[in-house]
Amino acid sequence: MTTGVRRRMGVEERKQQLIGVALELFSHRSPDDVSIDEIAAAAGISRPLVYHYFPGKQSLYEAALRRAADELAARFVEPPQGPLGARLLRVMGRFFDFVDDHGPGFAALMRGGPAVGSSTTNAMIDEVRQAAYEQILAHLEVEKPSARLELVVRSWVSLAESTALLWLDGRRVPRAELELQLVHDFAALAAVSAAYDPDMAGILVGILADEPADGPFADLVARLAALVPAVGATPPAVPDQRLR
């Protein structure tokens, strides 16, 4: 009969284990509600041993946040093949996978969690936003964006973030609908900007030229076209109620 012997972890391996345990707990509950005792119990070690590897909950939280930020930024990486609409829809699918799996942790990441106002956490959040911004520019094949294009892309990244946070509060809109809506939102932001700027108009024309008839951008055009008759209809005459 063989007796199981617990393998002693090295310092870095143990730290990574604690980060993983903390991130798992933070994914299901607010970091403010997770204690060091719970993290120690989930990792199978004592509370003093947690403090041996991390000086406090804040440092462990920031380490878990770092891992979450890196993972979230990676969700925006997409091979530059195929129509842009389909690429963005896949990105939104992976983005909402992360949001779905790490609800409280995602909210803590975007809102700063226990470290609201911390320069470290603020920097990590900015890194995620910047990574998403750079990925979208890469898909548009633009190295030096104009002021209007930067406004469109950064506004869209912010919209995706705020939409996900609102969705977590009750999940009242089907997730798949929101993913498609956010892709439509990107096209809508680009279209409005294109109405004011010829460079943006050129980018939009290029995007739509590569869009198949069954793509998400084509779907948006069809939905909007269906509304045009209603928008352009002559309103019914209103009887003159003034006293004669």
Interval 138-148: pLDDT, tens:
999 999 999 99
Angle at 23 between CA 21 and CA 28, to 5 degrees: 105
Distance CA 141, CA 138 (A): 5
- DSSP structure string for 46-86: -HHHHHHHSSSHHHHHHHHHHHHHHHHHHTT---S-S-HHH
Which residues, 6+ apart, have CB-to-CB distance to 168 below 8 Å?
Answer: 99, 103, 106, 107
Closest CA to 207 of 196, 226, 224, 220: 220
Please state, rounded to an integer, the average pLDDT across all residues of the chain: 86
- Report the predicted TM-score, pTM, of the whole model to 2 decimal places: 0.81
Interval 191-232: pLDDT, tens:
999 999 999 999 999 999 989 999 999 899 888 888 877 555
User: Is the Cβ–Cβ distance between 163 and 182 less than 8 Å?
Assistant: yes
Q: What is the chain's percent helix, strand, coil content, to nearest 5?
A: 75, 0, 25
Residue 124, phi then psi, degrees to nearest 5: -65, -40
Residue 5: C-alpha distances to residues 2, 8 (Å): 9, 9
Distance CA 210, CA 240 (A): 52
More confident residue, 77 or 106: 77
